[in-house]
């Protein structure tokens, strides 16, 4: 019997429960203008050089954002996915006190590979901090089944790394909340 594919909200809620990195870094998955994005406030957890985020924290944010697109495509196929390659160009420092948000685009989808591009930008100014291109593979294994095996896939509290509703992106997200 065919399984109903998990929604992106169910996927990210389950990821927040089974993977500890997103909540530890303060990464929240949210729906914004009908698309999924990640949001991460830069604070002392992320500091590499004085008063700016370590590049690894920004790279992790982008890997998760691009990976969410890959997970959605993989789950729809009844497959699993993983990052094959990730290239990031750092454009400017992400200063402590700023909030980064991501936006992604599917560049190519083939039988076994997916290429996704994206950017991390400052929420308030809109200035790009980093650009990324990721290649993901599809392989045997039902990602949806793996995620649901770890418990409920219902979205949970976004303050714990879950999914935020549209317009619930926090101060300055530019949404009306409706």
- Is 24 within the bounds of a domain? yes
- Is 33 within the bounds of a domain? yes
How far apart CA 162 and CA 124 sit, in angstroms, is 22
Instruction: Write out the residue range of the structural domain in which residue 119 sits.
Output: 8-151
- Is 170 within the bounds of a domain? no
User: What is the rounded end-to-end Cα distance, in angstroms, of the chain?
Assistant: 37
Contact 80, 138 (CB under 8 A): yes
Q: Provide the domain count of the chain.
A: 1
- Is 105 within the bounds of a domain? yes
How far apart CA 93 and CA 70 sit, in angstroms, is 27
- Is 168 within the bounds of a domain? no
pLDDT tens digit sequence for 72-129: 889 888 899 999 999 999 999 999 999 999 999 999 999 999 999 999 999 999 999 9
- Is 172 within the bounds of a domain? no
- Is 164 within the bounds of a domain? no
pLDDT tens digit sequence for 121-163: 999 999 999 999 999 999 988 766 666 665 544 433 344 444 4
73: CATH = 3.10.129.10
pLDDT tens digit sequence for 8-51: 677 777 766 766 788 888 898 887 887 788 999 999 999 988 89
- Is 157 within the bounds of a domain? no
Looking at residue 125, what DSSP letter applies?
T
How far apart CA 157 and CA 164 sit, in angstroms, is 7
pTM of the model: 0.75
């Amino acid at each position: 019997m065919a399984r109903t594919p998990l929604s992106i909200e169910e996927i990210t809620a389950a990821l927040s429960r089974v993977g500890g990195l997103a909540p530890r870094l303060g990464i929240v998955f949210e729906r914004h203008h009908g698309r999924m994005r990640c949001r991460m406030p830069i604070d002392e957890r992320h500091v590499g050089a004085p008063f700016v985020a370590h590049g690894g924290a920004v790279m992790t944010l982008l890997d998760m954002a691009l990976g969410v697109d890959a997970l959605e495509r993989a789950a729809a196929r009844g497959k699993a996915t993983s990052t094959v390659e990730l290239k990031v160009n750092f454009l400017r420092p992400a200063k402590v006190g700023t909030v980064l948000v991501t936006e992604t685009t599917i560049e190519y989808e083939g039988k076994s590979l997916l290429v996704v591009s994206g950017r991390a930008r400052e929420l308030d100014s809109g200035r790009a901090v980093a650009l990324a291109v990721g290649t993901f593979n599809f392989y045997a294994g039902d990602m949806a089944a793996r995620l649901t095996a770890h418990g409920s896939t219902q979205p949970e509290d976004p303050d714990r790394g879950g999914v935020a509703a549209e317009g619930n992106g926090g101060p300055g997200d530019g949404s009306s909340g409706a």
